[in-house]
Amino acid sequence: MKPSLYQTRSGVFALATLCCILWGSAYPAIKNGYALLHIAPSDIASQMLFAGWRFALAGLILLLVASAMKKPILALSGRQMGQVALLGLTQTAIQYVFFYIGLAHASGVKSSIMNATGVFFSVVLAHFIYANDRLSPRKALGCLIGFMGVVVVNLGGGVLGFDFSPLGEGFVIIAAFVLAAASIYGKRLSADMDPMVMTGWQLSVGGVILIAIGMVGGGQMEGLDLRSGGLLLYMALLSSVAFSVWSLLLKHNPVGMIAAFNFLIPVFGVALSAIFLGESLLRWSYLAALALVCAGIWLVTRPSAPGKA
């Protein structure tokens, strides 16, 4: 039987890269959204509300599409619904809360680097959970090179410093770990569920939780008009597409291989921010980072020779 697009090496590369481009575009989209909706950097409640509507809409879109495709969106058992709710609580709600609180207490440069530790968490956790996804020296080297790319892309603006804040860098690392662990849990659930249905429900659940957090905290979304509403819809669409495709890739491929593509997200984030926010792109660090990231992904995803790890 001919392998599907999400099972071939070229197909995996194309689909995973698409997901990373979409997630990378979220950086300028979020910044523009905050400006259009008059959300201050310190207004965590409104940020949670903004995020909640984004993910709730993304989940609703996925469930509507799944229903149109005749997928059984209401056929989940009580046990499965509980599992999906737990996935939404962790992968969408808790991860996002930790990340944005951390981002409020740390610089963007250090947060980007700390958040990339999620790749290491995914590869290491997969090593202990899946017998066919062991951490080989080649994969370790690929992760190291990819992480160097993330560091380089953030080095152009100055020195990192050595200060560490539990509420800042500490929370960003916790967010990365929560996302890595939840992704592996989602891979296990997708063995018995349709990835699109599973992703639709978990985004909906996580989004509703974030909306509740934002409303309880007094969050507001002022300036909601056609322009900001269109941006919110785009962010919901990018989340629905990226998360569903990513879940499909995780279902049919080793976690370590797919996780390595996460290194592309900050690279695309920087490039798209330069395009849409008018920031400088012609810097040596961006080109060097792209080369390092691509080399790291190639090492992690390259098929092993017979008898070798």
55-65 per-position pLDDT tens digit: 999 999 999 99
pLDDT band at 294 (very low <50, low <70, confident <90, very high): confident
- pTM recorded for the entire structure: 0.81
* Residue 44 scores a pLDDT above 80: yes
Q: Among the listed ranges 157-171, 227-241, 293-307, which one has the minimum average pLDDT value?
A: 157-171
Contacts of 100 by beta carbon, 8 Å cutoff, 6+ apart: 44, 47, 48, 51
Give residue 5's pLDDT band: very low, low, confident or very high (50, 70, 90). Answer: low
As a three-state string, the secondary structure of the chain is: CCCCHHHCHHHHHHHHHHHHHHHHHHHHHHHHHHHHCCCCCCCHHHHHHHHHHHHHHHHHHHHHHHHHCCCCCCCCCHHHHHHHHHHHHHHHHHHHHHHHHHHHCCCHHHHHHHHCHHHHHHHHHHHHHCCCCCCCHHHHHHHHHHHHHHHHHCCCCCCCCCCCCHHHHHHHHHHHHHHHHHHHHHHHHCCCCCHHHHHHHHHHHHHHHHHHHHHHCCCCCCCCCHHHHHHHHHHHHHHHHHHHHHHHHHHHCCHHHHHHHHHHHHHHHHHHHHHHHCCCCCCHHHHHHHHHHHHHHHHHHCCCCCCCC
- The reply to whether 74 falls in a domain is yes
- pLDDT on residue 166: 79
Q: Classify residue 58: in a domain, yes or no.
A: yes
**Quick check: is 22 in a domain?**
yes
237-251 mean pLDDT: 89
Q: Is residue 2 predicted with pLDDT exceeding 90?
A: no
With cut-offs at 50, 70 and 90, classify the pLDDT of residue 156: low
Could you tell me if residue 171 is inside a domain? Answer: yes
Residue 305 pLDDT > 60: no
**pLDDT surpassing 70 at residue 306:** no
169 in a structural domain: yes
Task: Tally the C-alpha atoms within 13 A of residue 287's C-alpha that lie toward its C-beta.
Answer: 5
pLDDT at site 258: 84
**Dihedral sign computed on CA atoms, order 270, 89, 147, 111:** positive
pLDDT at 301 over 90: no
| pLDDT classification of 52: cutoffs 50, 70, 90 | very high
Residue 220 lies in a domain: yes
**136 has a pLDDT exceeding 50:** yes
pLDDT of res. 106: 66
Band (pLDDT 50/70/90 cuts) for residue 123 is confident
Highest mean pLDDT among 89-93, 242-246, 274-278, 283-287: 89-93
Q: What is the pLDDT of residue 159?
A: 47
The parent domain of residue 86 ranges over 5-135+162-253
pLDDT surpassing 60 at residue 189: yes
Looking at residue 303, its pLDDT comes to 62
Least reliable range by pLDDT among 60-64, 66-70, 194-198, 270-274: 270-274
pLDDT value of residue 162: 44
- Asked if the model's pLDDT at residue 286 lies above 80, the reply is no
Mean pLDDT, the chain, integer: 82
Give the per-residue pLDDT at 178: 93
- 296 located within any domain: no
d(CA 298, CA 142): 7
Total domains present in the chain: 1
> In this structure, is residue 272 part of a structural domain?
no
